[in-house]
Amino acid sequence: MGYPTTIQLISRKKGNQWYVNFPNALAKAMNFKRGEIVEWEVETANCMKMIRTGKSNKETARIRTDKAALKPINT
């Protein structure tokens, strides 16, 4: 049984970002955890494979690249 999903494109000044959301039934069946890190491999132009790394965002450092986050907030 397939799970249709719409790919979303968010256009920003610094570049585009693509999102793929998983249907809840599929995420539960795969036992995904919040913050889980996965990797994508392209097998063909029509087929991608997702690989679980066994890591989560808590275990990997994320670098914030937006400079606005570094500016102090005036109160």
DSSP-assigned states of every residue in 2-56 = -----EEEEEETTEEEEEEPPPHHHHHHHT--TTEEEEEEEEETTEEEEEEEEEE
Question: Average pLDDT of 65-70?
Answer: 58
The pLDDT of residue 65 is above 70: no
Share of the chain above pLDDT 70, in %: 75
The pLDDT value given to residue 3? 87
pTM confidence score = 0.56
pLDDT in tens, 23-57: 999 899 999 988 899 999 999 999 999 999 988 87
